[in-house]
Structure 1
Amino acid sequence: MGARHRPAYVRFRLTGDPPYRAQPRRRSLGLLGGQNRPEPATVTSLEGFRETLELLAKDPKVKGILLELEDLAVPPAKRDVLVKLLEGFRGAGKRVVAWAVGVDNLGYQVMCAADEALLSPAGRLELVGYAAEAMALGEGLGRIGVQAHFFRRGEYKTMPELFTLPHVSNIQREVLESFLDERYAELVDTLAKGRRRTPEQVRAWIDGGPYSARRAAAEGLIDGVCDEAALPERLNGKGSEGEADEEGEGLEPMPMYLARLPWPPVRWRRLRPLPRLAVVPVSGMIVTGKGGSGVTGQMAGSEAVVKALRAAGRNRRAKAVVLYVSSSGGSAVASEIILEAVQRVAKKKPVIAFVDRVAASGGYMAALGAKEIWATPHAIVGSIGVFAGKFDTSGLMEKVGVHRTLITRGENAGIYSSTRGFTEHERALMEAEVEETYQAFLEHVAKARGRTKEEIHALGEGRVYSGTRALAVGLVDRTEGFEEACRRAMELAKVPGRFDLQVYGGGDRRFSLLKLLLGGSHAGTYAFCPTAWSLQGFGEGERFE
C-alpha cells in the first residue's frame, strides 16, 4: 500500500547557509537535524542533500523534486555544489522545479539549474549585478580629534587606508573592480547557460532589474508565476496537461516519502567504525591566546587552534587533517604560532588547507603549513603584507574635556600610548619592525611554495587574488570543493572509500576588530580589510558545532 501512495514529487527547503556535512552524532538518512529543529523539508547539509537525491534518483515512482529557496546565503563554492547536485539529479531523468517568493543573484543562479523556475505572484527577482562599497574614515576621524598612525609594507596592503585616508584610493578601487569583473562575468555565463540565452541578452536582463514576479515571467527570466498552495497541482499537471498520475500522491517532504516506502532504507551500525578525517577550523580574526568575547566578528585564538591541531595530530583514528581557513588575518605572532602547529601535525599525517571564502594575510600564512592548499574559484587568497600602528585620541579627549598626562622612563616607553602620535625615533623603529615582519612573511611563503623571496615579493605587497588567479600564480595547488579536498587528504593518507569527519576546535567566540588595532600594534599585523568588501556570500565561514 505504501509503495502505491508515496509522493510523485518530494519537497525540499533551501535556506541560509547549510554546512557541507552535519556532525556524525546528528546524522540520519537524507536530511540532517540540528538544535533548532528545522522544518522537515529543510536541507541541513549538502552531503545529506546529495544522499537523498541519490536515493530518489533510483525510485522510478518519483518524478522529481520541488526546491523552495528562502534567504539563501551560501558562498559561491556551495552554490557550485548545489548546481552540480541538481544537474546530476536531472541527468538521472528526474525533474527539478525551483520556487521562491523572492531571490537575488545567488538564488537565481541556483534556480537556473532547474528544469522550471517559478516565483510567487507577490515575489521579486533582485537581479541587479554586484556592488562593493569601499569606505574611508580618515577625514571623519580627524573631525572628532582622532588621528590614525599606521605603517604598512606593500602598497596593496590597504587595510590602514580605512582609517588614514579621506577618500578611497585608486588601488582599493582597482582591487575591488577586479573581483567584481570576475563575479559579473560568471553571473552572465551561468544565466546564459541556464536560461539558454545569449550573454548580450543576459546583460540586458541584469541592467533591467530588479523585477516583479510578473515582469520576470513576461521577460522570460522565469517560467511562470504560482502560489505556494497551487504548487502540487502545477507539478502533477492538473487543470493543464491532464489529471495527476494515479500512482503519485502530490508533494511531500522527505520524511513522509521515507514513511511511505514499503522497505525504508536502514543505516546499520557498522561493526568497524569508518576511518576519520579531522577538520580544524581557523575562522575569523586571528589573535593570541584563547580568545574572548567582544563586539563584532568571529575570532581564532592561537592557543585554541593549536590545542585543536595537537588533538587532531594525536588521534590515531584521524588519518588526515583538513585545515578549514576562513580568516582575513590578524596578529602576526598568533599567525606564526598557528603555522608552526600546522607544520608539526603535517610531519605526522597529511594536512590539506581548504579555503572557500577568504584566506588572506595571516589566514594565508596559517595555510602554508599544509602539504597542499586548495581554494574554490571565487575565494579571496593572498594579501601577503604587514601593517602596524595606533590611534592618537588626544584631540578627542581634549574636545570632551578629558586630560591625560603621559609620564615615562625610557625613550620609547610611550610608543603605544594613545595620548600622542609617534616621535621620529619611534617612527623609525616601527618602520623597521614592519619591514622585518614582512621579510619573515616572504620567507615563510617562499619556503612553503618552493619559490624565491623575490618571486613572492612580486606577488605580495598586499595583493589579493581570487582562487582562480591564485592558482595561476602558484599560491594555491587546486581549485575544487570541500568534499574533493577531504578525499584528497584521505588519498594522501592511503585510506580509500568512505570516512567520517571529526571537528576539533572551532568554538564561536566574538571579537572586536578595533580592539585588535588598538592593542596589537607592537607585534605587527597580517590582515586584509574586510570592511570594504560587501560581495555577496563571504561571511564568517563554515559553522562547525
Structure 2
Amino acid sequence: MRLLVIPLINLLVLLRVLLGLPFRLLGARSRPAYVRFRLAGNPPYRERPRRSRLPLGLGGQSRPEPATVTSLEGFRKALEVLAKDEKVKGILLVMEDLEVPPAKREVLVKLLEGFRAAGKRVVAWAVSVDNLGYQVMCAADEVLLSPAGRLELVGFAAEATTLGEGLGRLGIKAHFFRRGAYKTAPELFTHARVSDIERQTVESFLDERYVDLVDSVARGRRRTPEEVRAWIDSGPYSAKRAMAGGLIDGMCDEADLPARIGAKEDEEEGLEPMPMYLARLPWPPVRWRPLRPRPRLGVVPVSGMIVPGKGAAGRMAGSETVVKALRSAARNRSVKAVVLYVASPGGSAVASELMLEAVQRVAKKKPVIAFVDQVAASGGYMAALGAKEIWATPHAVVGSIGVFGGKFETSELMEKLGVHRTLITRGEVAGIYSSSRGFTERERALMEAEMEETYQAFLEHVAKARGRTTEEIHALGEGRVYSGTRALGVGLVDKLGGFEEACRHAMGLAKVPAEQRFDLQMYGGPDRGFSLLKLLLGGASAGTYAFCPTAWSLLGFKAGERFE
C-alpha cells in the first residue's frame, strides 16, 4: 500500500511546486539580501513530531511568528540553504530572552561560525541581553543594541539555601541520615548555614562557567582575557556605555536596522523571515516522502525529580511513566535505537532503581545511549547507568553518587497550633514514620543500616556499569558532583558531545548507515511542576532519596526538567 500511496503524495508535492513556480520566479529577483531570524526562549534540538503532543526538546504550543527559530536543526538547514545562495549577503539575528543551556549555546555558536566561514555576514541585535545571549552575539560579525537597551554582563552567581533555622522557628525538626560527606541534600533542611563542602562544589561549577564566558567573549570580540574580565567586573552596561567600552559595535533602533546593514529599502520592515525568502526561491527545498519508512530513534526523557508512580502534578519523572515508555520503545520494531534523555537531579532511590532496571532490559534488545546536556545527578545518574554509553556536554552536572533519608518532626509546630496528637503503637518500631516524634535509638540504627545498604547498592550499580571496583567508585562518590568534562576525566561518562552526535552514534550502533536519515519518536514525557518539600513530606515520611540540590541551585530549574 505504501508503494502506491507515497508516489502519489510525492506527485502532489511536485505539482504544488510546479504550480507555484511562476509566482516564485516573479519574486526571485527581489528576494532579500539579508534574512531575519528571531532567537528566543529555548528552541528544541529538533521540531516536534506531528504525531506527538509531547515537546521534543521543547517550545510552547502556540504558533510562533515566522522569523522565530523553532528548532536548532531547522536553523542549521536554513543556514545551509542561505549559504549556497550568492544573492544572500547574510542574516540578522534578533535576540529576545534567550534561555538555552550551555550545550545549546555552543551549538548556536558553531552554526553561526560555520555560516560566516561560508563568506556570509551575521549581524546580531537585541534590546537587552545577558551573559548567555551576549556569548551567542559574540559569534556575529557585528553586535548591535537598541539605544535604550542594556547589556547584563555581570558574571555568574548561584544561591545556596538552608532552611534549618527557619524550620526550627516554626517548630519543625528535620531528622535525616546520609551516606557521603558530599551528599549535601539534607543540609537544605538541617543546617542553619551553607556548609563549606556545598560552597566549594558550587564554586567549582561557577569557576568553569566563568572561564568559558571569558574565553568565548575574548574570542568573539578579539580581546584578551584580562580585558574581558575587566568588562565583566564593570557591568552591567547601558547601550551607550557598552558602545563606548567596545563591547558592542553600534546602537540602532529596530526600525533602522535595514538601513544599518544595507538591506533593500523596498522590503517590508527592510528584512524578511525565512518563509518569505523561500517563497521567492525558484526551487525551494522540498521534503519528499521516502518509499520506505525511515528508521526511527526512540527518545525517552527522564525529566525533573524522580518519583514513584506516574509523576502526577509536578515536573516529575514518574517511574511508572518512564518504564512504560521504555517498554514501548523496545517493542517497536521500527525503533532501531534509544536515547535516554536525562535532565534530572534525582529523587526517590526506589523509583530510580526501577528506571535503571527498565533501561537495562531495553539495552539487551537494542542500543541505548544516555544523553545529558543539563543534569544527571544522583538518582538521575543511576537511571543512566543502564545505557550502553553515557554522553554528556561539557557543562552538564553529573554524579552525586550517594543517598540520604529521614523525616520531619512537627510536634513543636502542632503544640504551638494547639493540636495534640497521641501516638499509640503495637510493635517496637511501628512509629518510625510518624511525624509526631523523632527517631528512637533502635529506629536510628535501622535507618542508618538502610542508608548504608542503599548506598552500597548504588556503588555496585555504578561499578558494574563503569567496569570499576566499588572501592574506586566510592572514592568518586560520597555525593561528589562533576561537570561533564570532569566526569569524563574520572570515567563517569563515556564521551562529550551534542544531542545530534549522540543520536547519530546510537543509530550507528544499530548498524544504520551514517548517511541515512532517521526520524525521532518520543515516548513518555515530563509533567508539569515539582516540589522537593512535597516529595519529602508526602507518602512514607522516612523515605530514602538520591537527590542533588547543587544541580537544583545551579540550573534554577526554570526549564531544566523538560526535554529542552
Report the alpha carbon displacement of residue 136 of structure 1 after superposing the two structures with TM: 1.1
Identity over aligned pairs, percent = 78
For the 8 Å contact 1:137–1:166, the answer to whether it is kept is yes
Which of 298, 305, 328 aligns to 1:285? It is: 305
SS in 1 for 2:553: coil
Q: Give the equivalent residue in structure 2 for 1:505.
A: 524
Q: Equivalents in 1 of 2:288, 2:148: separation in Å?
A: 46
Which AA in structure 2 matches 1:41?
Answer: A
Which of 65, 74, 79 aligns to 2:100? It is: 74
Report the alpha carbon displacement of residue 262 of structure 1 after superposing the two structures with TM: 2.1
Structure 1 runs, 4 residues or longer, greater than 6 Å off: 245-249
Structure 1 pair 531–483 and aligned structure 2 pair: CA distance change class (3 A):
closer
Which of 29, 45, 53 aligns to 1:4? It is: 29
SS in 2 for 1:517: helix
Matched, 1:199 2:218: no
The TM-score with structure 2 as length reference comes to 0.91
SS in 2 for 1:266: coil
Which of 246, 257, 263 aligns to 2:277? It is: 257
Structure 1 pair 361–21 and aligned structure 2 pair: CA distance change class (3 A):
same
Q: Equivalents in 1 of 2:138, 2:59: separation in Å?
A: 28
SS in 1 for 2:87: coil
For the 8 Å contact 1:4–1:248, the answer to whether it is kept is no
Report the alpha carbon displacement of residue 289 of structure 1 after superposing the two structures with TM: 1.1
Q: Give the equivalent residue in structure 1 for 2:6.
A: none
Structure 1 pair 8–266 and aligned structure 2 pair: CA distance change class (3 A):
same
- The C-alpha deviation readout for 1:16-35, integer Å capped at 9, x for no partner, is 001101123289xxxx9973
Which AA in structure 1 matches 2:536?
Answer: L
Report the alpha carbon displacement of residue 227 of structure 1 after superposing the two structures with TM: 0.2
Report the alpha carbon displacement of residue 95 of structure 1 after superposing the two structures with TM: 0.6
Report the alpha carbon displacement of residue 97 of structure 1 after superposing the two structures with TM: 0.4
Matched, 1:125 2:151: yes
For the 8 Å contact 2:257–2:270, the answer to whether it is kept is no
Q: Equivalents in 1 of 2:444, 2:269: separation in Å?
A: 76
Which AA in structure 2 matches 1:516?
Answer: L
Number of residue pairs matched by the alignment: 531
- The C-alpha deviation readout for 1:248-298, integer Å capped at 9, x for no partner, is 99410111111111222221222112110000000011111112125xxx1
Q: Give the equivalent residue in structure 2 for 1:162.
A: 188
Moved more, 512-521 or 430-439: 512-521
Q: Equivalents in 1 of 2:279, 2:269: separation in Å?
A: 13
Q: Give the equivalent residue in structure 1 for 2:14.
A: none
Report the alpha carbon displacement of residue 509 of structure 1 after superposing the two structures with TM: 3.6
Q: Equivalents in 1 of 2:272, 2:310: separation in Å?
A: 46
Q: How does 1:104-503 map to 2 (within 5 A)?
A: 104-236=130-262, 250-294=270-314, 298-496=315-513, 497-503=516-522
Q: Equivalents in 1 of 2:371, 2:551: separation in Å?
A: 23
Which AA in structure 2 matches 1:265?
Answer: P
Q: Equivalents in 2 of 1:476, 1:423: separation in Å?
A: 41
Matched, 1:18 2:18: no
Q: Equivalents in 1 of 2:492, 2:248: separation in Å?
A: 40
Q: Equivalents in 2 of 1:2, 1:234: separation in Å?
A: 24
Structure 1 pair 245–57 and aligned structure 2 pair: CA distance change class (3 A):
farther
Report the alpha carbon displacement of residue 3 of structure 1 after superposing the two structures with TM: 1.5
SS in 2 for 1:102: strand
- The C-alpha deviation readout for 1:471-501, integer Å capped at 9, x for no partner, is 0000000111000000000010010221100
Structure 1 pair 23–543 and aligned structure 2 pair: CA distance change class (3 A):
same
Structure 1 pair 532–449 and aligned structure 2 pair: CA distance change class (3 A):
closer
Which AA in structure 1 matches 2:257?
Answer: L
- The answer for unaligned runs of 5 or more in structure 1 is 238-243
Structure 1 pair 520–92 and aligned structure 2 pair: CA distance change class (3 A):
farther
Q: Equivalents in 2 of 1:123, 1:494: separation in Å?
A: 51
Matched, 1:539 2:555: no
Which of 547, 553, 557 aligns to 1:527? It is: 547
